[in-house]
């Protein structure tokens, strides 16, 4: 069984959690029965009132419905499971799970998952697009929800007056859902893309934001780096965790000519592509309030054990049951942790694959107009890309002790991101454009494992001067002290350790990078 889709958002309603769960359960029952009726399946079934437990019900032998209520006095936990055959292949089954969870009896989280399964013993690929169940859109429209910020089934407009807010919103760590940003074409209109239909398609899994005119994208380009902007009729997906130092390949861009490949239905093509891309990542996102069917069953088992103990039925079977439940709970937790660990890498690899393909298509069509370089595969390429991207902000004057030409560091893309961080967050803090009171914290949040240091020990510098100076015409004696550095790794293994030493030159308002290597010499070397 393979997960194809997941959506999760906090419900915003004035109703108490129990009443809200009852109402949502009734909506889910109605959705299932309407689906059966549309498929010509007679049922004659009357669902219970509210969030109740429903033993497995079968309709026409192929359609199954069950529900489970594992609520307690201080928490709400209810879920529904609906399985039905694929319309094209009877050996393929779709399974939809919807749940409502309020562990504290206050805030309520709605979650939905779709799984694809093959019955029988035939081994062959099953390829289906992700799809958004109607119940997700209906509940979001009826009760509203949020993922750090309010979610909607309709697009948000971005007028000129809101550009600064939008730029902050893109970088806000509280944002949990991706943003699809659509820019206007040359005539000032979005063109063939119908943002309302795309927003409906992505309801519950992403925000859709539309620039009201070209001035919006021009102003946005003055706040975030141009290579991360979106303009001229293009569309771009900004993942949560967006930072101005990110590589442009981290956030997929669909230029107008790529959107034209979706014709005759650009709207449907882009909507489905983004939904597939987001779903490929969302299926790994099992946060603490995401109630899955497995978790719901575990909660139910736990309550059953507690009831049995309270009634004095503590025989050997209950002990074994408790041990099995504890083992299953630990196993589920381990698997969820593994999925979460893989999510970031899956996201990165899928995004890179898509953006590489788009970039290569662009290069074939307009080789002289490629908007940005491909991500670095070596330290030399990282330096070259940084020089092209930030010629007015970064300067490289590497001293004789640098090891950049022969570096064995295995993550040159991280080095490129470090240069981007220097040209954005660090540069802005030095020029007073935007304050950053915690540079080390900012860097470690931007690139996992990396750290910033603003000084070196005086004894170390004096004893190893050649390592801590570089040539620079505007410095006294044409030699510049490079006492700040970025670093990752603490071992002598060159594949996982690197240092970037630099200085801020006030005269030229540039960051001068003077050393790149595994380590600079110090008193302990």
The full DSSP string for 126-144 is: --------HHHHHHHHHH-
In the chain, which segments carry CATH 3.30.530? 1-145
Please write the tens of the pLDDT for every residue from 164-209. 999 999 999 889 899 999 998 866 545 567 889 999 989 999 999 9
Q: Is the model's pLDDT at 341 over the cut of 60?
A: no
Q: Is the model's pLDDT at 352 over the cut of 70?
A: no
Q: Is the model's pLDDT at 351 over the cut of 80?
A: no
Rounded to the nearest 5°, which phi and psi values hold at 7?
-135, 145
* Tokens coding 295: 């978790």
156 — pLDDT class (breaks 50, 70, 90): very high
Q: Is the model's pLDDT at 65 over the cut of 90?
A: yes
User: Average pLDDT of 120-145?
Assistant: 82
Burial class (CB in 10 A: 0-12, 13-18, 19+), 153: buried
What percent of the chain shows pLDDT beyond 70? Answer: 83
User: Average pLDDT of 90-95?
Assistant: 87
pLDDT recorded at residue 317 = 60
User: Average pLDDT of 313-324?
Assistant: 64
Please answer whether residues 452 and 484 qualify as being in contact, where contact means their C-beta atoms are separated by less than 8 angstroms.
yes
C-alpha to C-alpha distance for 33 and 295, rounded to whole angstroms: 25
User: Average pLDDT of 462-474?
Assistant: 93
Please write the tens of the pLDDT for every residue from 266-299. 777 888 888 888 887 776 667 788 888 888 988 8
Between the alpha carbon of residue 296 and those of residues 188, 190, 301, 306, 329, the distances in Å are: 50, 44, 9, 16, 11
User: Average pLDDT of 93-121?
Assistant: 88
User: Average pLDDT of 518-524?
Assistant: 80
Please answer whether residues 84 and 93 qualify as being in contact, where contact means their C-beta atoms are separated by less than 8 angstroms.
yes
Q: Is the model's pLDDT at 514 over the cut of 50?
A: yes
C-alpha to C-alpha distance for 161 and 215, rounded to whole angstroms: 10
pLDDT recorded at residue 370 = 44
pLDDT recorded at residue 88 = 75
C-alpha to C-alpha distance for 42 and 45, rounded to whole angstroms: 9
The pairing of strands 108-118 and 2-11 is antiparallel
Neighbours of 83 (CB within 10 A): 18
pLDDT recorded at residue 401 = 94
Q: Is the model's pLDDT at 367 over the cut of 50?
A: no
pLDDT recorded at residue 171 = 92
Q: What is the mean pLDDT of the chain?
A: 85
Between the alpha carbon of residue 207 and those of residues 46, 146, 301, the distances in Å are: 37, 10, 37
User: Average pLDDT of 419-436?
Assistant: 93
C-alpha to C-alpha distance for 340 and 335, rounded to whole angstroms: 9
The dihedral over CA atoms of 461, 462, 466, 467, expressed in degrees to the nearest 10, equals -20
User: Average pLDDT of 152-169?
Assistant: 94
C-alpha to C-alpha distance for 363 and 382, rounded to whole angstroms: 20
Q: Is the model's pLDDT at 425 over the cut of 90?
A: yes
Q: What angle do CA 414, 418, 421 make, to 5 degrees?
A: 135
Please answer whether residues 397 and 512 qualify as being in contact, where contact means their C-beta atoms are separated by less than 8 angstroms.
yes
Query: Is the previous residue joined to 264 through a cis bond, with omega within 30 degrees of 0?
Result: yes
Please answer whether residues 298 and 328 qualify as being in contact, where contact means their C-beta atoms are separated by less than 8 angstroms.
yes
Please answer whether residues 485 and 520 qualify as being in contact, where contact means their C-beta atoms are separated by less than 8 angstroms.
yes
Please answer whether residues 177 and 7 qualify as being in contact, where contact means their C-beta atoms are separated by less than 8 angstroms.
no
361/279: higher pLDDT? 279
Q: In which residue are the tokens 């979001």 written?
A: 140
The pairing of strands 179-182 and 235-238 is antiparallel
Closest CA to 411 of 350, 470, 493, 512: 493
- Is 3.30.530 the CATH classification of the domain at 1-145? yes
Contacting residues for 126 by C-beta, under 8 A, at least 6 apart: 2, 89, 92, 116, 118
Q: Is the model's pLDDT at 132 over the cut of 80?
A: yes
What Rg, from alpha-carbon coordinates, does the chain have?
Answer: 27
């Amino acid at each position: 069984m393979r997960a194809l889709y997941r959506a999760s958002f906090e419900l915003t309603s004035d109703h108490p959690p129990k009443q809200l769960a009852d109402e949502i359960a009734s909506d889910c029952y109605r959705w299932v029965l309407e689906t059966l009726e549309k498929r010509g399946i007679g049922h004659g079934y009357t669902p219970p009132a509210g969030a109740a437990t429903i033993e497995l019900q079968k309709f026409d032998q192929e359609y199954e419905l069950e529900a489970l209520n594992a609520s307690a006095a201080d928490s709400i936990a209810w879920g529904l499971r609906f399985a039905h055959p694929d319309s094209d292949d009877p050996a393929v089954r779709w399974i939809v799970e919807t749940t409502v969870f309020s562990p504290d009896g206050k805030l309520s989280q709605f979650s939905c998952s779709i799984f694809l399964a093959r019955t029988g013993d035939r081994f062959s690929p099953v390829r289906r697009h992700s799809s958004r169940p109607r119940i997700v859109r209906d509940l979001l429209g009826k009760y509203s929800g949020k993922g750090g910020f309010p979610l909607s089934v309709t697009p948000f407009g971005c007028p000129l007056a809101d550009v600064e807010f939008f730029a902050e919103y893109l970088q806000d760590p509280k944002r949990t859902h991706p943003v699809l940003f659509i820019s206007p074409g040359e005539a000032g209109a979005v063109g063939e893309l119908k943002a309302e239909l795309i927003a409906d398609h992505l309801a519950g899994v992403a925000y859709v934001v539309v620039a009201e005119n070209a001035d919006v994208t021009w102003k946005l380009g003055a706040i975030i780096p141009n290579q991360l902007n979106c303009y001229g009729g293009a569309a771009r997906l900004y993942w949560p965790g967006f930072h101005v130092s990110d590589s442009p390949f981290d956030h997929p861009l669909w230029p107008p000519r790529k959107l034209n490949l979706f014709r005759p239905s650009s709207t449907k093509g882009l909507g489905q592509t983004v939904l597939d891309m987001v779903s490929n990542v969302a299926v790994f996102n099992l946060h603490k309030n995401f109630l899955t069917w497995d978790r719901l069953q575990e909660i139910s088992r736990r309550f059953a054990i507690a009831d049995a103990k309270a009634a004095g039925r503590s025989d050997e079977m209950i002990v074994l049951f408790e041990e099995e439940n504890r083992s299953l709970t630990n196993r589920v937790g381990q698997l969820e942790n593994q999925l979460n660990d893989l999510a970031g890498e899956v996201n990165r690899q899928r995004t890179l694959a898509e953006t590489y393909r788009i970039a290569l298509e662009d290069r074939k069509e307009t080789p002289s107009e490629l908007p940005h370089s491909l991500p670095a595969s070596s330290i030399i390429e990282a330096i070259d890309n940084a020089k092209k991207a930030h010629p007015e902000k970064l300067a490289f004057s590497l001293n004789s002790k640098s090891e950049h030409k022969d570096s064995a560091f295995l993550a040159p893309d991280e080095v490129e991101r470090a240069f981007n961080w220097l040209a954005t967050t660090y540069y802005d803090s030095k020029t007073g454009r935007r304050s950053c009171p915690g540079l080390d914290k900012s860097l470690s949040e931007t690139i996992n494992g990396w750290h910033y240091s603003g000084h070196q020990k005086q004894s170390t510098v004096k004893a190893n001067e050649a390592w801590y100076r570089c040539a620079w015409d505007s410095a006294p004696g044409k030699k510049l002290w490079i006492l700040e550095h970025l670093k990752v790794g603490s071992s002598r293994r060159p594949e996982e350790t690197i240092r970037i030493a630099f200085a801020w030159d006030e005269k030229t308002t540039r960051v001068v990078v003077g050393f790149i290597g595994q380590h600079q010499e110090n008193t302990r070397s």
